[in-house]
Amino acid sequence: MAFDVETVRKDFPILSREVHGVPLVYLDSANSAQKPQVVIDAEADLYANHYANVARAVHTLGSEVTHAYEGARDKVAAFLNAPSRDEIIFTRNITEALNLLAYSLSNASTTIGADRFRIGPGDEIVVTEMEHHSNIVPWQLLAQRTGATFRWIPIDDEGRLVESAIDEVINERTKVVSFVYQSNALGTINPVRRIVERARAVGAISIVDAAQAAPHLPLDVQDLGADFVAFTGHKLYGPTGVGVLWGRYDLLAQLPPFLGGGEMIETVDMSGSTFAAPPHRFEAGTPMIAQAVALGTAVDYVTAIGMHEIREHEKALTAYALDGLQSIDGLRIIGPATPVDRGATISFTLPGIHPHDVAQLLDEEGIAVRAGHHCARPVCVRYGIPATTRASFGVYTTTDEIDALVRGVDKVKEMFTR
Amino acid sequence: MAFDVETVRKDFPILSREVHGVPLVYLDSANSAQKPQVVIDAEADLYANHYANVARAVHTLGSEVTHAYEGARDKVAAFLNAPSRDEIIFTRNITEALNLLAYSLSNASTTIGADRFRIGPGDEIVVTEMEHHSNIVPWQLLAQRTGATFRWIPIDDEGRLVESAIDEVINERTKVVSFVYQSNALGTINPVRRIVERARAVGAISIVDAAQAAPHLPLDVQDLGADFVAFTGHKLYGPTGVGVLWGRYDLLAQLPPFLGGGEMIETVDMSGSTFAAPPHRFEAGTPMIAQAVALGTAVDYVTAIGMHEIREHEKALTAYALDGLQSIDGLRIIGPATPVDRGATISFTLPGIHPHDVAQLLDEEGIAVRAGHHCARPVCVRYGIPATTRASFGVYTTTDEIDALVRGVDKVKEMFTR
Amino acid sequence: MYQEIILDHYKHPQHRGLPDAFDAEVHHVNPTCGDEVTVRVKLADGTIADLGWDGEGCSISQASTSVMSGLVIGKQIDDAMALQDKFLALMQSRGNAELSEADEDELDDAIAFEGVSKYPARIKCALLGWMAMKSAVAEAGWGTSADNGTAKAGETV
Amino acid sequence: MYQEIILDHYKHPQHRGLPDAFDAEVHHVNPTCGDEVTVRVKLADGTIADLGWDGEGCSISQASTSVMSGLVIGKQIDDAMALQDKFLALMQSRGNAELSEADEDELDDAIAFEGVSKYPARIKCALLGWMAMKSAVAEAGWGTSADNGTAKAGETV
Ligand SMILES: Cc1ncc(COP(=O)(O)O)c(C=O)c1O
Ligand SMILES: Cc1ncc(COP(=O)(O)O)c(C=O)c1O
């Protein structure tokens, strides 16, 4: 299928909206992506025609909804090229996926037979300086619970990991390495295989935050080689309230449970309980049924367009936008300034103008961008700035919209210097 | 507004469905309730017209969606008669709400300033024998993490708590009392104030599982007097993927965080992080935005009908169904056999016929009931049965449907004895 | 789906009862619904020489175990295992099995359970006796002991 | 919403600078966007005799602090607190404030921030200077010390 952005745009009802009397230019997809009509309809159709609770029911609706829910698991497994559907765990979002791991690891301390996952004083947990808060705080809290040490790989002036630090920070004391595939604040695409290999060499568990990779790059968990990979549905044109944790089955099979409750058990007795096999062990309570089903539809949607086509489209947009933005005098790109190993998310600053003001004035022109630390405050601290303005692109973004952005930023500059 | 079940039924698109060529008779609302069109539309409308991520954005869509999300919090606060909107935490389901408390309590052990919540060996955690697995396993796991003792209030032959045991099981060693308002397996409505008062008298935290109460009874957290009350959206005619934890603000303000990530922080630094005030401290990552908004719509929906009207409607149905079912020779009600202090959920067994067979044969007649241990296996163990068949009613249930159920059960009996 | 075959096997189970001479006995439980089955097998000359069972539970689990016994007794173990695989595939078919005529012949009465495959909560019931049989045969020393017959597939439907 | 008033105050802030004579100094930060403001106050005879500030951040936070200083200097403390309450209510109005003419007169240039109330992420910016002023006045010994002026309302919009 030839990629045609105008055809794609028709699938997204919100793109025909106006804001302040002008057509919406939505450049905040890294924050959350808009939803195609098929995804919206998937949830609505399930509720209107096939709804009941999953797994437990023996009636027809229960059977239909369970097949829809488990069918979504099959779709996600195929999307990630997972060796087994049983390696796909539905979570609320990627934040929960990462916390699930952090808690299951500390639960290993009080779970018989989970010795290989135990973490304690002297052990080290490694992230990078460019992580989203959702990949920082769970590990800081894990360190607090276990007495382990929290460490990180620093970033350089261009927004890349300091290559020479990787082998030093990840060492024999390292038990966990959790890092972002594509940075939401900088756009940087990290050398996943390089880091995973180092983690494996020292015997550490490797976890990839693919929140910003899943919507933009072909993802193949077998190719990446990591132990765990997670992403979040709402950034992949799916609904809110659903995310995915993929993990190697042999690890999941040994990992202690996280949340306790219905569906994750094998048998419950007042004197003690035993737990189901993965993935159900990690899906306590009634799941986000309609949301998982609609995420399956979102996966179908991007797969039909083609992840390679999306990547090429966005690569072109990124090059175009980097050129356009860098033509503005004084504008500073925070993150890689060339299109190499970077994604379609561009942070920048303007001298003397707070990013909040930039974003708000762009909003007056119908242009939605984000301003702030993008839940990656350490990145701002690293570059000595309070915040950045960030434009991020998706499958529906056009070069016209980037032109509008560049014009808009020019106008903001003018207002502030007038 | 006069309550008219036929008018109500028109609001639920799935009720016009056929199953095996006959009209659907949905008697599995305690498992999950069906959704009125307004709830389905609420999610769809948000995605099609006002969608972006919440809280972080400074653009128009971000402002619209944040007001919708926070507006849902206001609605839920009013629904529960909560003293403050900041006491309403959105979770994935009630299972997560209960686990949130269990983890925040064990996190108190490693959090400075959270001494009042610490639990350890010698302390006791109390539930009842009629709990849902989601209110058993989190506390068994908490006991495992902390070394505290897990205890329970037993139930009697009629399916009620053994009154004389309450004061003995809840004693000076008790730190937490978590119990169900209305049992999903038995239909029993428990004496909430009685138990809460005993918990308060011994200085224990009291937690009410209102999963089966919220859809059926007027809920007033101030009147109940408990410290925490939780419910789940999908049983209240809301979407899947969203639940609610209400807690007294002074407790929430001191409770350590559970999940770490975006939105729940005050400031993040590689050397340590501080956390936002409630409710945001307990809402890590991108929330189930559309689902919370649609839950707000569901709350509006039941409020417009009137929780008292719903309660009266269901009381009448329950009396009618108890009469009808007990006219079947050999049928045994598991739980209170009279309509006093019980809700619209009726479990029963038939001699020599497995509940799975009953449910499956009823399905052939278009009747959806549940069979199994209803995620309350200890109840089945208590009565020495492998499972029960359970019919449960909602705002849209009619006496005709109950007649169909009674006829259907009769027919099943016949098939097996022929 | 409640075809006469199932109700018939339920009311008149075949090979019910535990033989005194046996090489292995296993007891399997489906924790979600409390169905239980105990299976004893005797192997001889690469065949399942004898099999008897006892159990409790729904018509699906009991009838399926009855059908299974009738089919496997006297079969070559390899053939019995192949048949077990076929039945497993039938149960995972979600009501869309594409069976050859030879398959149908071989599965015989077990075809009656095809409709069960549409009901995720009941697939385990139908598989219970078959899984127990497979376990018992393994226990009795046949094939690789790595394959311990836990109902992995049934667990994750 | 970027009315001339806001940009004007941003470019030409009033009472910017920290006076040497003061009863209390506070420093408030909005962690979500890094806006900062330091406020010094001097109280006398139940009035805010002097107030000066320094800060960094977006036009909303800086202009709002500038407008605030112009409005409260010389006011009775009670009146300044009442005005602070009015401004808080304006910021929580989600763009639907119903102001009397008297309110409008009193809020004066601060009315320019009404549009900000529609943007949850920016309400804190507009409140930053006002909250700091309230804190500083409390620190200087006015009223109950329980009310320590943390931006509770702003935190939960
Ligand atoms: C009494 C009770 N508590 C807890 C739950 C768990 O609800 P959820 O699965 O939505 O978390 C249920 C329903 O399954 C219930 O009936
Ligand atoms: C790189 C990265 N990781 C994690 C997250 C957290 O995602 P969510 O809020 O959906 O859990 C985000 C998005 O906010 C992100 O960009």
Residue A375 CB burial class (10 angstroms; 0-12, 13-18, ≥19):
buried
Q: Which two tokens stand for residue B374?
A: 């209803």
Angle at A61 between CA B231 and CA B44, to 5 degrees: 60
- Comparing alpha-carbon positions, the chain D residue that sits nearest to A362 is D2
Structure tokens at B31: 């498992």
Pairing of strands C47-56, B149-153: unpaired
Q: Of all residues in chain D, what percent carry a pLDDT higher than 70? A: 89
Please state, in angstroms and rounded to a whole number, the distance separating the CA atoms of residues A74 and A56.
19
CA nearest D93 in B: which residue? B67
Task: Clarify whether residues A249 and A362 are in a common domain.
Answer: no
DSSP A248-288: -HHHHHHSPPSS-STTSEEEEETTEEEEPPTTGGG--SS--
Burial class (CB in 10 A: 0-12, 13-18, 19+), C92: middle
Contacts of B360 in chain C (CB under 8 A): 1-2, 119, 122
The average pLDDT across B386-404 equals 97
The average pLDDT across B53-70 equals 90
User: E strands of B221-279, at which residues?
Assistant: 228-232, 243-247, 265-269, 272-275
Q: Taking a contact as any Cβ pair under 8 Å apart, which residues of chain A between 187 and 206 contact chain B?
A: none
Q: Which residue has the higher pLDDT, B142 or C32?
A: B142
- Whether C129 shows a pLDDT value over 70: the answer reads yes
Residues of B in contact with A290 (CB under 8 A): 239-241
95-114 in chain B: CB under 8 A from chain A = 95-96, 98-99, 102-103, 107, 110-111
Ligand number with the minimum distance to the CA of A262:
1
Has residue B35 been placed in a domain?
no
**Identity at A187, one-letter amino acid code:** G
Q: Which of A141, A368, A375, A385 is catalytic?
A: A375
Which CATH architecture describes the domain D4-139? Alpha-Beta Complex (3.90)
**Which of these three, A280, A303, A326, is where a domain ends?**
A303
Mark yes or no for CB contact B356/C122 under 8 Å: yes
> Of the candidates C84, C45, C82, C57, which has an alpha carbon nearest to the alpha carbon of residue C68?
C84
Mean pLDDT of B328-352: 97
In the prediction, which pLDDT does A86 show? 98
Q: Which residues line ligand 2 (CB under 6 A)?
A: A 93-95, 132, 134-135, 180, 184, 209, 211-212, 232, 234, 375; B 262, 285-286
* Chain C positions in Cβ-Cβ contact with residue A62 (cut-off 8 Å): 119-121
> CB A58 to CB C121 under 8 A?
yes
CB-nearest to B357 from C34, C56, C58 is: C58
Residues of B recognised as catalytic: 375
Whether residues A63 and C152 touch (CB distance < 8 A) is answered with no
Residue B263's domain comprises 40-303
D34·A364 Cβ contact <8 A: no
The shortest C-alpha distance from A246 to chain B (Å) reads 18
Give A64 to chain C, closest Cα distance, Å. 8
CATH code of the domain covering residue B107: 3.40.640.10
pLDDT the model gives residue B2: 78
Amino acid at A27: L
pLDDT tens for residues B19-41? 999 999 999 999 999 999 999 99
B100-156 pLDDT, tens digit per residue, is 999 999 999 999 989 999 999 999 999 999 999 999 999 999 999 999 999 999 999
State the residue for tokens 């959350």: A32
- CB-defined contacts A:C, below 8 A: 30
Query: Quick one: pLDDT at residue D148?
Result: 38
Q: Do A70 and C122 touch (CB under 8 A)?
A: no
Using the structure block, give the residue that is written with the tokens 């402002």: B63
User: What is the distance of C-alpha D133 from the center of its chain?
Assistant: 6
CA of A180 to the centre of ligand 2 (A): 10
Name the 3-class secondary structure at C102. Answer: helix
Whether residues B122 and B176 share a domain: the answer is: yes
Distance CA B93, CA A284 (A): 9
Question: How many H helices and E strands in chain C?
Answer: 6, 3
For the record, the structure tokens of B47 come out as 């995605």
Question: What ipTM does the predicted assembly reach?
Answer: 0.91
Which residue of D2, D8, D30, D125 to mutate against A (max A Cβ within 10 Å)?
D2
Nearest C-alpha of chain A: how many angstroms from C2?
A: 13
Bigger pLDDT: C120 or D5? D5
A285 and A380 part of one domain: no
**Distance (Å, rounded) from C-alpha B358 to C-alpha B356?**
5
CA of B215, nearest ligand number: 1
C-beta atoms of A386 and D59 within 8 A: no
Q: Which run of H or E residues covers position B184?
A: none
DSSP states of A354-394 as a string? -HHHHHHHHHHTTEE-EEE-TT-HHHHHHHT-S-EEEEE--
Would the pLDDT of D156 be above 70?
A: no
Of the partner residues B60, B62, B273, the one whose CB lies closest to the CB of residue A20: B60
Sorted by where each begins, the domain ranges of chain D are: 4-139
- Nearest ligand (C-alpha, residue A188): 2
Residues 6+ apart with CB under 8 A from D35: A354, A386, D29, D55, D56, D57, D58, D61, D62, D124, D125, D128
Q: Which chains touch D (3 or more CB pairs under 8 A)?
A: A, B
Query: Inter-chain contact B232–A103, Cβ cutoff 8 Å?
Result: no
- Cβ of B104 closer than 6 Å to ligand 1, yes or no, is no
Assess whether pLDDT exceeds 60 at residue C147: no
D120 contacts B67? CB cut-off 8 A: yes
CB contact under 8 A, B262 and A132: yes
Residue given tokens 């394959």 in the structure block: C147
pLDDT of residue A389: 97
Query: What is the rounded average pLDDT for all residues in chain C?
Result: 87
Q: What is the pLDDT of residue C149?
A: 37
Closest-approach residue (CA) in chain D for B67: D120
Instruction: Report the DSSP pairing between strands B205-209 and B228-232.
Output: parallel
- Which of B255, B283, B303 marks a domain boundary? B303
| pLDDT at residue B11 is higher than 80 | yes
Question: A touches which chains (3+ CB pairs under 8 A)?
Answer: B, C, D
Mean pLDDT by 10 residues, chain A (418 residues): 91 97 97 98 98 87 95 98 98 98 96 93 98 98 97 98 98 98 98 98 98 97 98 98 98 97 90 94 97 98 98 97 97 97 97 94 96 92 94 98 98 90
Taking CA atoms, C155 is separated from A277, C102, D13, in Å, by: 7, 28, 69
- A392 has which bridge partners? A28, A345
Task: Identify whether the C-beta of residue A181 lies closer than 8 Å to the C-beta of residue A226.
Answer: no
**Which residue carries 């990552």 as its tokens?**
B285
B114: Cβ contacts below 8 Å, ≥ 6 apart: B107, B108, B254, B255, B256
In a domain, A35, yes or no: no
Number of C-beta neighbours around residue A188 at 10 A:
25
* Closest residue in A to C151 (Cα–Cα): A277
Torsion of CA D135, D137, D139, D140, to 10 degrees: 170
Distance of CA B285 from the midpoint of ligand 1 (Å): 23
The DSSP 8-state label assigned to residue A31 in this structure reads T
Q: Give pLDDT, residue D30.
A: 84
Name every residue whose Cβ is closer than 8 Å to that of residue A18 and which is 6 or more positions away in sequence.
Answer: A24, A366
If one counts every other C-beta atom within 10 angstroms of the C-beta of residue A102, the result is 28
- Helices A307-326 & A289-305 angle (0-180, nearest 10): 80
- Ligand in closest contact with the CA of A186: 2
Tell whether B151 and B256 lie within a shared domain. Answer: yes
> Other C-beta atoms within 10 Å of A331: how many?
18
The Cα B163–Cα B151 span in angstroms is 15
Residue B38, Cβ neighbours under 10 Å: how many?
Answer: 16
Cβ neighbours for A121, distance < 8 A, ≥ 6 positions apart: A146, A147, A148
Cα of A264 from ligand 1 centre, angstroms: 13
Pick from B303, B326, B360: which residue ends a domain? B303
Say whether both A133 and A217 belong to one domain: yes
CA dist C40 and C137 (Å) reads 9
pLDDT at res. A417: 85
Q: State the pLDDT at residue C94.
A: 84
Phi-psi region of B341 (alpha: psi -120 to 50; beta: other; left: phi over 0): left
Q: Does pLDDT of D157 surpass 50?
A: no
Rounded distance, CA A48 to CA A57, Å? 18
Rounded to the nearest whole angstrom, what is the distance from the C-alpha of residue B179 to the centroid of ligand 1? 12
CATH number at A348 reads 3.90.1150.10
d(CA A97, CA B67): 27
B/e letters for A40-62, b = 16+ CB within 10 Å, e = fewer, are bebbbbbbbebbbbbbbbbbbbb
Please give the pLDDT value at position D1: 55
Cα distance between residue B4 and residue D108, in whole Å = 54
- Closest CB from A55, A267, A276 relative to C121: A55
Cβ–Cβ < 8 Å for A397, A368: no
Distances (CA, A) of A331 to A327, A349, A351: 8, 6, 7
**What is the predicted pLDDT for the residue at C127?**
96
User: What is the rounded average pLDDT for all residues in chain A?
Assistant: 96
Give the nearest partner residue to A133 out of B234, B261, B372, using CB atoms: B261
Mean pLDDT for all residues in chain B: 96
Residue B283's alpha-carbon distances to B245, B288, B289, D128, in angstroms, are 11, 10, 11, 24
CB atoms within 10 A of CB C111: 19
- Average of per-residue pLDDT across B43-65: 92
Q: How far is the CA of B363 from the centre of ligand 1 (A)?
A: 23
- Contact assignment for A70 to C157 by CB distance below 8 Å: yes
Find residues 50-89 of chain A whose CB sits inside 8 Å of chain B: 50-53, 56-62
Residues A289, A349 within the same domain: no
Q: Are residues A179 and A262 in the same domain?
A: yes
B395 touches B305 (CB < 8 A):
yes
What CA–CA distance (Å, rounded) separates A12 from A36? Answer: 4
The total domain count for chain A is 2
Instruction: Read off the pLDDT band of C2 (50, 70, 90).
Output: low
- B389, two tokens: 């068949």
Residue C151 has what pLDDT? 34
Task: Compute the nearest-CA separation of D73 from chain B (Å).
Answer: 31
B338, two tokens? 């009279």
Helix (H, G, I), strand (E, B) or coil at C46: coil
A118 C-beta neighbours (distance < 10 Å), count: 16
